[in-house]
A and B are shown apart, each in its own frame.
Chain A
Amino acid sequence: MALAGLFLLLFLPVHLIINLMLLSNDPEPFNRAAHFMASFPLVKIFEIILILALLVHAAWGVYIQICNWLARPTAYASGNKAPTVFFSKFMIWTGLSVLIFLVLHFFNFYFIRLGLVPGDPKDFYSVAYTLFSVPAYNYIYLFCFALLGLHLYHAFYSAFQTLGLNHRIWSPVVNIAALIYSIVIPLGFAFISVAIWQFR
């Protein structure tokens, strides 16, 4: 699960860089990048691994959560007041919210490319602009990226711990990197959405 999660963490900056091309007035760079991602053989292999990583990560996460619920059949009447990072206790819920958003995202883009949903796979630029012009879509988008940020913060440093990669000096650096990553990546996506929604 940690390995699949780390693989997904590697993909998000690539996606963000491509999305930044949406800020250009010219649809060509973004559409060309989207086409490259859809056609270049090496990227296609990467795509299969990515989809598998997503499925393994989500399915394993749900399975583990069910086992964890079964391990405590009776809840505490006085709650659990252990001083921990608050959102680390809600990974299943932030994760499932992001998964629901991904299904929506797949219907809007990926399934068009696969020919499962009607649309023009050569002009995702226009598809993105149409979506970002709908306020409700922006609210959902921003909310889901806020949840993704909270998910990523715990996921980033947690993956290293699960893989046994802890170090007296490097683990605090990983924690700082996790904080920076979980703020910068979602903020980048949110910035693009707000910029198109409010200023175009």
Chain B
Amino acid sequence: MKFTLKIWRQKNAEAKGAFVTYRVEEISPEMSFLEMLDALNKKLAAEDNDPVAFDHDCREGICGSCGMYINGHPHGPVPAVTTCHLSMRHFRDGETIWIEPWRAKPFPVIKDLIVDRSAFDKIQSAGGFISVNTGAAPEANSIPVRKKDSDEAFDSSICIGCGACVAACKNASAMLFVSAKISQLALLPQGRVEAKERVRAMVEKMDELGFGNCSNTGACEAECPKEIKLTNIARLNREYYKAF
């Protein structure tokens, strides 16, 4: 397969970026999107050009590093997959593919397609934890948890913090991410102890960092590679009101 790539190139955080056009050939349909970029970078390196910088780590869809905005969608046009799991067979032969970094004030571009997502870490540090003496593993059944609650908490906990929700939202809102982190703890008895302080601190930090506000368009849920549900945002709102 052959593709024309329009890739955002930006030397550093201060530099002015621009789209640069590349052509890649002999791309196998089985290749992942990142493997296709690897092939491009190999070619660029051989020509003594600066390879395209992009974030990646596990390439198994669980680390959340490989976020990039492809043809109008975070992680590309296929629902519920991360960029590393996106195959080139999902594109037409000869297609022009636009590749951009996440665009949000709290996610400044570091280089090319890499953005600084430490804003998420700051939100997590503000309250996304439980203060317990971890010690030895406790008896699993000493605190009974309803199956429904543990299932819902698990569904929320699979958020990988990739930032696709922020990238997809027209307001660059981080509500889906924050709500997933709130929910995974608020649903369990261990998380209830600090629930009020947690939600206040995390929402305050989210606002302070300059994320936008949720206007319930549902773009975040539609584009989330882990299919985190909007019901988490309603729970976040409930938890927030209860905290005052």
Question: Which positions in A face B, CB cutoff 8 Å?
Answer: 64, 67-68, 70-85, 88-89, 91, 154, 157-158, 161-166
Contact = CB atoms under 8 A, between A and B. Distances in A.
B73 A77 contact: no
Interface of B: 6, 8, 19, 69-73, 77, 98, 100, 103-106, 168, 170-173, 210-219, 222-223, 230-231, 233-241
User: Interface majority SS on A: helix, strand, loop or mixed?
Assistant: loop
B227 to A, nearest CB: 13
A116 B133 CA distance: 68
B215 A88 contact: yes
A161 B237 contact: yes
Contact of A82 (B19, B173, B223, B238): B223
A85 B233 CA distance: 18
User: Interface majority SS on B: helix, strand, loop or mixed?
Assistant: mixed
B117 to A, nearest CB: 15
A72 B174 CA distance: 12
A84 B217 contact: yes
B100 A68 contact: no
Nearest to A83: B222
A80 B238 CA distance: 29
Contacts of A74: 103
A154 B223 CA distance: 19
Contact of B72 (A71, A79, A163): A79
7 contacts: A68-B215, A80-B168, A82-B168, A164-B235, A164-B236, A165-B234, A166-B230
B78 to A, nearest CB: 12
A130 B103 CA distance: 51
